[in-house]
Structures are given as structure tokens and as C-alpha cells.
Structure 1
Amino acid sequence: MMDIKNIKPEQIEAKQLYKEMGLSDEEYGMAKEKMNRLPNYTETGIFSVMWSEHCSYKTSKPLLKKFPTKGVQVLQGPGEGAGVVDIGDNQAVVFKIESHNSPSAVEPFEGSATGVGGILRDVFSMGAKPIASMNSLRFGKLKDDHTKMLFSEAVRGIASYGNVIGVPTVGGEVQFDESYKENPLVNAMVVGLVDHDKVQKGTAAGVGNTVIYAGGSTGRDGIHGATFSSDVVEGEDDNTSAVAIGDPHMGKKLIAACLEAVNSDALVGIQDMGAAGLTSSASEMASKAGTGIEMNLDLVPQREENMDAYEIMLSESQERMVLVARKGREQEILDIFRQHDVQAMAIGEVIEEKTFRIKQHGEVAADIPVDALTEDAPVYHLPSEEAAYYREFQAKENTVPVVDNHQEMLRKLLQQPTIASKEWAYNQYDSTAQSNTIQGPGSDAAVVQIEGTEKAIAITTDCNSRYIYLDPEVGGKIAVAEAARNIVCSGAKPLALTDGLNYGNPTNPEVFWQMEKSIVGISEACTALDTPVISGNVSLYNQSAGEAIMPTPIIGMVGLLESVNNVTPSHFQQKDDAIYLIGETHAEFGGSELQNILEDSYTGKAPYIDLKVEANRQKQLLEAIQQGFVVSAHDLSEGGLAVALAESVFNGKGLGIQVELQGEATTALFSESQSRFLVSVKSENKTQFENLISDAKQIGVVTNDGKLTVQAEGNNVIEEDVEQINKLWNEAIPNLLADKKV
């Protein structure tokens, strides 16, 4: 263990020790300027975590300003622990998505578990009761034991934390590609419910008010986790000490205690100790309030002996909160936590001087101007350069791949891990905790009823990174549009979104260009579909085998159903219903799952999208659902119409389909053209449905013979037993995981 007292500020500068903490020469110079002196070891560490990309967004901040963040439905946009959206009747939903990529690359079980715990704290720190959890995961191809271990352990970690905490994990998505082999993406999303007048903010207002520490003890786990998550993680690096360890049993008690505390008017502010732990939470709360904070680290609960100020301030031990209570009433807050068997103690106070002052053993361990850590953090406008491959891809004509056997190709597609059933994963999750889940994992969007009302919310996570790689701007539009399609298919009106922006090294001009262009596309789609960005997270420096991951901005979206009667399943429901395809199909295979099978690569143009057409189709379909004309609705995505048709009869009801398609068979079956829906309608409602939907075309009927029969170009191109191909789809991932290399 290092004795930081023996490391003089002059040594830090002379030996450039600040570089080991993640500060550049220029940034260290800025820190000296802010301090008007040489910072000591603890102060240098505090600057390094607060100015890390993970905490300061120093390279992405200029781009994030492009997002539309306002709307009549938005009660709180970016800037707090999570965003808040009105759902009527003085109620609001609070939600956010956040990544835990680097920790999950080295300790997938703990990394994913603490990812769930961290995003839960962001939501309940806003005063909201968590009511649902989702996830969005990316891994390499399931062909080597290491990738299989990463996937299995990450799913186990999510399940272990979520199941104990009592918040249902209602869905998510998993995609597989070699781009993520050494750098998996683990993004967790949580939705909470709060009354308008109970919304809390992370602020340390009121000079003389008391700063309270609540939750688990502080240990040496997770030290410099924020810096670790702001750098490239190589496959062989041992960074396990930077991964914090979660405790869902403590987390459950902490939720209950915090939700009781927010009902007390003795509480001024509350914030989660997330990345950079006590440092970021306390300094951010003071900066937002225009105040300062003084803390005595001798009062901080510590589970390890002889921890110094540097370790305590940079620890990312889990299940910890910072609260500010009114002076003279702090005991009311302390008593609430003790009643829930959660330790809490006063460790400092709000001061008028705008400084972040830390004391330990009767000495000042750090004294930094508070805005220097937050408002005055460096911001970089990095160079952007169009990716070299982009023009080449744009010059390619859209051609139709050669598929000799369409039936065999459907079988292959259904067994692709990105398309195959994710039941192996979501069966490990408790999706029915709290007893309000109406549609859980496996649906286009999960649906959770708002207890005591007829209302429900729909939730989804989406992103096709292949399209964004091919054309970042168009791909960004598609990511938002597909999320909104899933929400509409469930019967809900899209409200707003949270984004988990996962990219490679931003100092690479081509990676920064991917970020820049995809954010433009996301912003345009948000405006067109009235889904403002209310919260989010940025994760950069994601690399695999020395190459950037495919740009992966995850879209987490929430929608509102005014009545649970409008909940719409994604599967066909009964014999003789008419099957409709909404939207036009073109020869668009760039970034498609078919291209992946045939070429093992992605080239060409991303599918075209017209946001006006998208918005109009979504509006019309939602109206048809609300008027009761739609029995089921499913959006078309990976694998195109053929996969959507198969998935629509995978519900164990013995149903089949008889479908006749127009045009060239490969395009009709496997193109991934956008803005399309597969819908079933009762025969007596066909006329009303067709009057509402301007570009719906009946392509077949639902049968009860358990056969999937598709005709194209005058021939039966697919004649399958539904039970057999359902088995292939269901068993694909378990079979790959069981195939261990000896």
C-alpha cells in the first residue's frame, strides 16, 4: 500500500505521476492553474477522475448539445440522475440507460451486476420507485469459450442482482458480432414511477445543511473505475481491482430507505455515488447549488483498515448515496436509514465558500475550487474525418444476393444468434416481480401496468450497429425509428428516449465522425417522431483487437398506453385472421443478416429511411390499434419478412400461415427495408383497417395447420413445419453455448 503523504506535489510533477492517473500534460497544467499551486496526490487523483471522459464527457459534450431535449411531456431532461417524463394524473416515469462495458470485459458477472445496481440508484435518487429493468448486450460470435463465458456470466450477473432486488427484468436485446469480441457492451436501463411533486434533485443547497453518507461501507474496490472506463481495455490487461463488487441485498434495503427519506421535507438533495464515488456525487451536488462542501473522512464508514483520503475519495464501492439534510433535522433522515438497517452518518456540511474541502486525521487532504471539477472541466473539439470506407460503400449499387434455397436460408437465419430466441438468457430473469408485467421478454416491447390505473408503459432497447457502421447518419435515424416501431407495435405512443452511446477511440478522426454523424441522425429522428432525449450515457474507447467496435448508440425508449385494453401482442393469435404487410420492400441488403451469412462482412448502403413516411405509418398503425382493428403487430428488422413471419407463429398455439408474395423472392423474403410492419386483422375489420392504413397490403391468412407456407414468383418457396423451425430457433443459442472446445 502506497503512503501518499510521502509523495510530494513536486514529485508528482517531476515524475509525471499524473499520467498514471489519466491526466495529460495539458490537463495537469490546467489543474495547477485552477489551484494556483501544485495539487497534492489526492487532489491530482480527484482531478483525474472528474476530468475523465466517463465523468466529464469532455470529447462528446459538444456533440450532445445537438440532441432535442425538450417537449411538453418532459419534466426533467439531461443533467440529473435520470430524465423525467409526464404520463398524466400527476404521475411521471423516470428512466435512464447506462453502460458498464469495461468492468464487464474483465469481470463479467460483477461488471453486469453493478451496472444494474448503479442505474437503479440513478433512478431512485430522483425519488422514483423502480418498476422495470431492461438491458442491451453485445458480444463476439459464440464460437470461442471466452466469448461464451463473457455472455453467460454477464447474463448471470444481471439476473443475480435484478432478481434479488425485486425489480422485474422485463426484456432487452442481445446481438453478436466479432466487433465486440474483446470489448462486450453491457448497457442497463431502469424505469421508475414518481409523482410530480416528489421528484428529487442532486443538489447541496443551503449553507450549514448537513451532508450524509448512507449505504454500504467504503472499501478499496473500484478505485479509479471512472478512469479505467475512459481508456482502451486490452484483452489481456488485468484491471480487476477497478471493478466494484455489488450487494443486491443491501441495494434492496437502500431503495426502501431512500424512497422513505424523499418523502421527508428534511431532505434537500440526494445523489448516487456512481463513477468516481464520493468525489463526483458530492462535488456535482455542490456545483449545481452554487455552494461548497466540507467533509471529514474519519466519519466515512470504512470496511478496510488504514484507507487514505485518495482511496476513500476514489473508491467506487457499491450501494452508497450522498444526501443533504436541513440543519437541525438530520436526525430524522438518519433514523429512517437505521430503521431499514442501513448505516448512515453525517460526514460534513454545506459551506458558502465554493470549494471542495476534504479533511482526514485533522488535516486538510484536498481543497479544490468546486467548479474546477465540474463546470470548468476541459472540453475538446476533436477533428472529424469521413471514414475511408464510406464513399466506397455509397458507390455500390443495391444488388440482390443469390439464394438458391430460400427455405434452407430461413432455417439458417433463424439459427443466427442475433435472430435466434434469447429465452436462454431471459429465463434467468425474474420478469414478473411486482406483478405488473403484462408483456415480458420476447415481445417487440415490454409492457408494464401502472399499478392502480388503467395505464401502462411500453419499454424497448434497440440499435442495429451494422447500419450505423455503413452510414452513421442514416443508421442513427433507423435506431430511433426501430425503437419507436417496437413501442407502437405494443399499442403505445412513444414518449421519449435515453441513449447509451458506445463508440471506439474518439481521438481517431474516423471514429469521431461516426459519433458526429450518428448523433445528427438520432437528433433528426427524435424531432420527426417527437421523442426527445431526456437522459443518457457515453462510453468511449471501446476497442477489440486494436480496432474500434462498430458504433453502437443504444436507444432505450418508453411509450404510454392510456388503456391496458390496447396492449397488442407481436404473435398471430387465431385462425382466419388476415395478414398484412405495411410498407414497401426494396432490394436493400447492406448490413443485413443475409449479407452476414453469405459474405461474413457488411458492405454497401444502409437501408433507406424517410422519417416523414415513418412518422405517418406509426401514427396510422397506432390509431388502428387504439380503435381495436389490430390483433397483432410486429416490426420487420433483422432477417426481413421471412423471419418476422416465422416469429409471429412461434407462440405454441399450433398456428400456421398461408402467404403469397409479389416480386422477386429473395428481396420479398429477406430484404431489410425500413418502416415496415407485419400485422394481423380480424376478417370483419379488414375494411376499416384498410381505410386507416394507406399502404397496407394483405399478403395472406393465419391458418391452424401448423405449417408455414410462402409462395413467391408462382412457386412455394417455403413449406415448413412450424414446430420444427421453432425448435431450431429456440435451441440455437443453448446448443452453441454447450459446444465447448476441449
Structure 2
Amino acid sequence: MSLADSDRELVEAELGRDPTTTEAALFENLWSEHCAYRSSRMLLSAFESEGDRVVVGPGDDAAVVALDEDTYLTFGVESHNHPSYVDPYDGAATGVGGIVRDTLSMGAYPIALADSLYFGDFDAEHSQYLLDGVVEGISDYGNAIGVPTVGGSTQFHGDYEGNPLVNVACVGLLDADRLVTATAQEPGNKLVLVGNSTGRDGLGGASFASEDLAEDAETEDRPAVQVGDPYTEKLLIEASEDLVSANLVESARDLGAAGLGGASCEMVAKGGLGCVIALEDVHQREPNMNATEILLAESQERMCYEVAPENVDAVRDIADKYDLGCSVIGDVTDSGNFVCEFEGETVVDAPAEYLADGAPLNDLPTEAPPEPTVSIPDTSVASAFDAVLASPNTASKRWVYRQYDHEVGARTSVRPGDDAALLAVRRAEQGVALSAGANPNWTSAAPYEGAYATAVENATNLAAVGATPLAAVDCLNGGNPEKPGVYGGFTNIVEGLADGCRDLSVPVVGGNVSLYNDSATGPIPPTPTLAMLGTKSGYDAPGTGLSGEGTLLLVGGHASGLGGSEYLAQFDGSDRFPALPDDPADRVAGLASVADLDSTLAVHDVSDGGLAVTLAEMLTADAGLDASVPGLPELFSEAPGRAVVETTDPDAVRTRVDAVELGHSDGSGALSLDVNGTELAYEFEAVADARDTLAAELD
């Protein structure tokens, strides 16, 4: 770790002296891109984050939205990209642990996870190694702590080969009167560290996440990767419940990036206060740790609580009950300074607000993404259908989500594999829907339009289960922002996502930025992962499988633009991105109302692979379809905001949304398609085998 010369000059001017070794390391981490958003903070004002049901917006460990006046949901997302390349198992596992602790710090109980994963070409051995390790890390950690993984996405694209992405979202549930924030409240209160002991793992993780991955990262950067302990995390979850229930917590922050230094400094800075911390009082698991190591290690399963002096003994008792470490490490002060002492020496003494928020912003040049050329491959409908259906991007992801426990907690009404998960929140008598993901083919082809489509796609997923959007969080992933072309693409996805969410009237209440996702193989595609919550009355949804007894309607109608489609990816073509809907909010609301009709038998949105894959996914062993499509472009276009509805009352659908008739479903268990005079016919078993290519290869 080393503080950049330009930053050191600013720090020296502020302090009026040279920084100590520990201060320099602390500034270097808190002023890193990962913590300070130096290249992105100025862009984030594009997002609208306020709304009637927004309780806590951006800036805390997680956002909070209201289901009703008594019941709140927390919502957050984070990335663990670099660690998951260096050590896929621990990198992914600790990403789950971190976002769960963000939920705990708001006083909530975690009820659902969604992971959005991005890897290089599936055929590459290294991509399969990363995929296997990441999925195992997520499943082992999530299953052990008893939080269901109910949704997400898995994408493959050659530009992730040197830098995969692991983005994890978490939803928490709490009563309104249990809300805790990360804002320190009162001078004289104690800072109490609860959880695992502090070691040297994860040292400098924040600065590591703010640099391009080097070719030797898998060996040289392994010490910067945290090591998780899910069984301690489970104890911490239950201890947090007890602490909040007993009203023992004034404020809280999870120890994530920059470890104790990040959590404690940000807490007191948010409250306009200061603190004095005795670093030697931190419970440690390794001998001879120095001040910098204790302050900046990112050891997992640790929380920092602000506690009134008279409640410290009660906090200790609860920690003992769950066999967790507990250290009273310092005091909140009114000085405004963040002070750390170690064995009688003051090693940090700097303004807390300057440490937490004083990093200067970067003024970086941008280059507009190039206009795509138009090169449509000349392929037969049959060969195109076979190739797109068997692509790893459109293939069944059962191999991934079958490893996750998605029913623990008894709230999961719609499980992974459908358009959106649906959770039953019975205390509020509401269903809560969750969708998460992005499509790198879209944003590679057209960053702005692809990001806008990402917002529409997630909202359409919610509508397919009858839910209307409530709020969203984003994980904005980009390459090295110092490259003008890369930064131009990143700027475009921010603008596109912000405009899409605004047009949908969905507040973006929090999120995460991850830049420097660059390696020897080049930058990643600009990737705007979006996680979106929706609500509905009741806990039922029509499902995506055909019943065999209805008319098939295409909501939103046919589209012909092929830009960003899996079809072009399979055959090395290019095109402009398809037209975006003029009325996304009305279309989403209309589709949600259609999904709740008694006459609606099935709903499935059109996305990866276009209409071809949507129809194939709706097949069941007992129900098939007979449909017609105008041509190959209409079959494979991935224009957002569209869905196929199976209904016994087509007129009831048309009164709510624009839709065209495709054909009808039947009991054949086969797919029959007429594509501009070309007949395609597939049995259910053949389609299922084609879509199981992922499992066949990995098993």
C-alpha cells in the first residue's frame, strides 16, 4: 500500500505535518476508488433516489423502503470481483457475508439473496474453474447461514476472461421501530467490536479492488482476499437480532472495505463526531499485529456498534451467549477527529470527515462508444434456432441454482428459474418480487440503450409475476476509467440506467461502483447490474410453463432490431440496438395487471435469445405450442419490455396492453413454429436436452 504523491500533498496540507505510516495507509484505503468513488461520484447524481416509500436512501450500509407503516425492507448490493478471480471460493463466499452484514447493520434480518455472475467464454477451462468455485462459495456460505438464494443471473462473455464479476444483492426484513443506521449518535458512547477476531486476511483489500488485475494476481494478491466463516456469521445474525430487540444499539456498521478504519471512521463522520480508539484492545487471532494491520485488516464476520455506556455489559452478555468475541475499543467524542492509539502512541489523528469524504474527484476524459456497423449473418432459421437454444447464455442455469437452498425461511413462493423470485411477507400481507441481472451483449453493443433496457428488463420480470416496481439498487461495473473509451462506456451505462429507472418511476435507493475491472486480457464490458424489488397483493403468480389450454399473445408486439442479441453473438454479426419502448411504465403496469387475471395461465418475458428461447422455455412435457413468427429477426430480437402470455381471454389482455397473437398452446409437449414459411418442430425432450448443455458439461 502506498499513498499517491498528489494525495499525500493534500493530506500534509490538511494535517500540517507528514502523515504517520498508519495514517498514510488509512488515507490510501479510504481514498481509494473502491471506497471514495473518485471517478464515479459525480455521475451518480443522475439517479433519482427519493420516493414516498423510501425511508433511507443512498449512503448507508443498505437502503430501507417501506412495505407499510409498520414493516420495512432493507435492500443492498455489492461486488466482490477481484477477490473472486484470485480465490473464487473465498472471494464469492465473503461477498455474500459482506452484503448480509450490511443488512444486519440496519437492524434487519436477511431473508433473500440474489447473485449476478459474469464469466469468460464458457468453453474456456479457466472460466469453468471460476464458475465452479464461485457457485460453491456462494452456496456453502448462503446455505450455512440460512439465507435463501432465490434469484440472479449467470452470463458468459469473452471479455470477462481476465476479470469475472460477482455481484450479490440482499433483502432484509424489519419492523419500523427496529431501524438502525450508521450515523453515530452521542459523544460519550462506546464503540464495541463484536464477532470474529481480527487477523491479517484481507489486508489492503480496498486498495487492491481499486487497481487493474495483474497477470500474477492469483498468487501475489491472495493475502488481500478475505477468508469467510459462515458459522460465525450465523451466530452474528442471531446476536444482532438480540441486540436490536433489546434496544442496545445506537448505530452500527459492518466491517467491510478498509476494515475497522473504514467502519468506525465513517460512523463518526456521518454523525459529525469523532472518536478515540485503542487498537491494542481489539481482539486478535494472530500475534504481533501492528497498528496498521489491526486498523485495516478486512477479516470477516465483524460488526462495530455504538453502545451507551450503561448497555455495554448487556452487549457482552449477548456476545458471550453466541460465543462471539467482544471488545470495547473506544469512545465517541465531540472533537470531530478520528484518533487511534496503539500501545501508548497516537498513530492516527485526523479529521474524521476529511478521512471519510475528503478524497478529491477525478476529472477524466471520455470517448463516445463507436457506432455499430450493420452485419447480419446469412443463416438458416433451423441452424440459428439450434445454436441460440444451446448457448450457455440461454441454456438452463439449473446447475447453478440447484446448489442453493432457496426455500429456507419458508417465504419463497416463486423459486429460481422463473422471471422473478416471489417472497411471501405475511406480516404485511404482501408478496415481494426480486429480479437481478444485466446482459453484457446489450451494453457491449450500445452502452446507453443496453443499460436502459436492463432497467426495463428487470421491471418486466417483476411484472411477469404480477408485481409492480418498488425500488432498485445498482452495481455499476466498469474497466479502467483512466482509458477514455472505457470511461465513455461507463458514463453511458450510468446515464442509460438512470433514465430507464426514471421513466419507470423506480427510485434507485443505493448501490455499489466497481471500477478497474481490467486485466491483461482487456477491460470488461460496461456492466450495470440492477436488482429491483416489486410488490403485489398475495403470494401467487401464474408461472412460465404452458398449461396447454390457451391462446398465446406477445405483449409489446414483434421487434426486428438484433443489436446485442445472442443470435448475433453466435454468428459474429452486428446491428443497431432495437428500439426502446416509449411507455415502459405503462407497459410494465399493464403486464402486471394481466399476470393477476384469473384467465392468465402463464407469463414469460422475452429477453436472452429472444422469442425463440422464450417459447422453448415455456414448453413442458405435457404442454406444447403452435405459433407463427414473421421472420428470423423477429424470432431472435431481444427488444426489452415484451412478454408471452398464455390466456383463455385474449380480449381481457388486449384491454390492458398492446399485444399480437402468436398462436395457441396444446397438449402435445412439442414446439411447432412457422417462421415466414419455414417450419420448425421440436419435441420437449429435444429442447430440454439442448438447454441442459451447461449441466452436461459441468457434471
Instruction: Say which is worse superposed, 188-197 or 212-221, in terms of deviation.
Output: 188-197
Match of 2:660 among 683, 697, 713: 697
- In structure 2, what residue type is equivalent to 1:729? R
Match of 2:644 among 678, 700, 710: 678
**Structure 2 gaps, min length 5:** none
SS in 1 for 2:67: strand
2:652 maps to: 688
- In structure 1, what residue type is equivalent to 2:73? V
Contact 2:465 2:543 (8 Å CA) reproduced: yes
User: How do 1:72-221 and structure 2 match up within 5 A?
Assistant: 72-221=52-201
Equivalents in 1 of 2:229, 2:602: separation in Å?
Answer: 41
SS in 2 for 1:313: helix
Say whether residues 1:734 and 2:695 are aligned partners: yes
Equivalents in 2 of 1:218, 1:254: separation in Å?
Answer: 15
Q: 1:236 to 1:143 in 2, by over 3 A?
A: farther
Equivalents in 1 of 2:362, 2:124: separation in Å?
Answer: 39
Match of 2:633 among 667, 689, 692: 667
User: How do 1:555-566 and structure 2 match up within 5 A?
Assistant: 555-565=530-540
SS in 1 for 2:655: helix
1:403 maps to: 379
Percent identical among aligned pairs is 36
Match of 1:568 among 542, 554, 573: 542
Q: Deviations over 1:444-489 (max 9, x none)?
A: 0011111445311111112112222222221121011101000110
Contact 1:458 1:559 (8 Å CA) reproduced: yes
- In structure 1, what residue type is equivalent to 2:626? Q
Say whether residues 1:71 and 2:42 are aligned partners: no
Match of 2:292 among 310, 320, 324: 310
Shift of 1:648: 0.8
SS in 2 for 1:69: coil
Equivalents in 2 of 1:445, 1:252: separation in Å?
Answer: 26
User: How do 1:539-558 and structure 2 match up within 5 A?
Assistant: 539-558=514-533
2:361 maps to: 379
Equivalents in 2 of 1:85, 1:329: separation in Å?
Answer: 29
User: How do 1:339-488 and structure 2 match up within 5 A?
Assistant: 339-387=321-369, 390-391=370-371, 393=372, 396-397=373-374, 400-404=376-380, 406-488=381-463
Shift of 1:588: 1.2
- In structure 2, what residue type is equivalent to 1:441? P
Shift of 1:540: 0.3
Equivalents in 2 of 1:669, 1:208: separation in Å?
Answer: 66
1:579 maps to: 552
Contact 1:210 1:350 (8 Å CA) reproduced: yes
Shift of 1:200: 0.7
Shift of 1:64: 0.8
2:682 maps to: 720
SS in 1 for 2:662: strand
User: How do 1:511-660 and structure 2 match up within 5 A?
Assistant: 511-565=486-540, 567-572=541-546, 574-599=547-572, 603-610=574-581, 612-649=582-619, 651=620, 653-660=621-628
- In structure 1, what residue type is equivalent to 2:175? D
Say whether residues 1:327 and 2:300 are aligned partners: no
Q: Deviations over 1:308-349 (max 9, x none)?
A: 001001100000000011122221222222222212121110
SS in 1 for 2:416: coil
- In structure 1, what residue type is equivalent to 2:28? S
Equivalents in 2 of 1:207, 1:169: separation in Å?
Answer: 40
Contact 2:2 2:24 (8 Å CA) reproduced: no
Contact 2:493 2:527 (8 Å CA) reproduced: no
1:17 maps to: none
- In structure 2, what residue type is equivalent to 1:671? S
Q: 1:644 to 1:556 in 2, by over 3 A?
A: same
Equivalents in 1 of 2:496, 2:121: separation in Å?
Answer: 28
Equivalents in 1 of 2:652, 2:167: separation in Å?
Answer: 41
- In structure 2, what residue type is equivalent to 1:691? T
Equivalents in 2 of 1:264, 1:376: separation in Å?
Answer: 36
Q: Deviations over 1:340-379 (max 9, x none)?
A: 2212121110111111111111221221211121121222
Equivalents in 2 of 1:617, 1:453: separation in Å?
Answer: 27
Shift of 1:89: 4.7
1:6 maps to: none
2:12 maps to: 32
Equivalents in 2 of 1:259, 1:50: separation in Å?
Answer: 29
Match of 2:210 among 217, 226, 230: 230
Shift of 1:181: 0.3
Equivalents in 1 of 2:437, 2:695: separation in Å?
Answer: 23
Contact 1:613 1:675 (8 Å CA) reproduced: no
Contact 1:629 1:689 (8 Å CA) reproduced: no
Equivalents in 2 of 1:624, 1:416: separation in Å?
Answer: 31
Contact 1:133 1:189 (8 Å CA) reproduced: yes
Q: Deviations over 1:564-618 (max 9, x none)?
A: 24x231222x22211111123232112211111111xx633222203x3222221
SS in 2 for 1:217: coil
Shift of 1:70: 0.5
Q: Deviations over 1:123-168 (max 9, x none)?
A: 1111111000110000001222221111100000000100000000
- In structure 1, what residue type is equivalent to 2:532? M
Shift of 1:400: 5.0
Equivalents in 2 of 1:666, 1:400: separation in Å?
Answer: 11
Aligned residue pairs, count: 697
1:7 maps to: none
Equivalents in 2 of 1:586, 1:131: separation in Å?
Answer: 38
Q: 1:714 to 1:470 in 2, by over 3 A?
A: closer
Equivalents in 1 of 2:507, 2:552: separation in Å?
Answer: 33
**Structure 1 gaps, min length 5:** 1-20
Instruction: Say which is worse superposed, 185-194 or 464-473, in terms of deviation.
Output: 464-473
Shift of 1:546: 4.2
Equivalents in 1 of 2:166, 2:247: separation in Å?
Answer: 37
- In structure 2, what residue type is equivalent to 1:85? V
SS in 2 for 1:329: helix
- In structure 2, what residue type is equivalent to 1:704? G
SS in 2 for 1:117: helix
Q: 1:702 to 1:544 in 2, by over 3 A?
A: farther
Say whether residues 1:706 and 2:666 are aligned partners: no
Structure 1 runs (4+) deviating above 6 angstroms are: none
Contact 1:205 1:290 (8 Å CA) reproduced: no
SS in 2 for 1:65: helix
Q: Give the superposed CA RMSD.
A: 1.5
SS in 2 for 1:207: coil
Equivalents in 1 of 2:535, 2:644: separation in Å?
Answer: 21
- In structure 1, what residue type is equivalent to 2:593? E
Q: Deviations over 1:529-578 (max 9, x none)?
A: 1111111011000114342110001001110112124x231222x22211
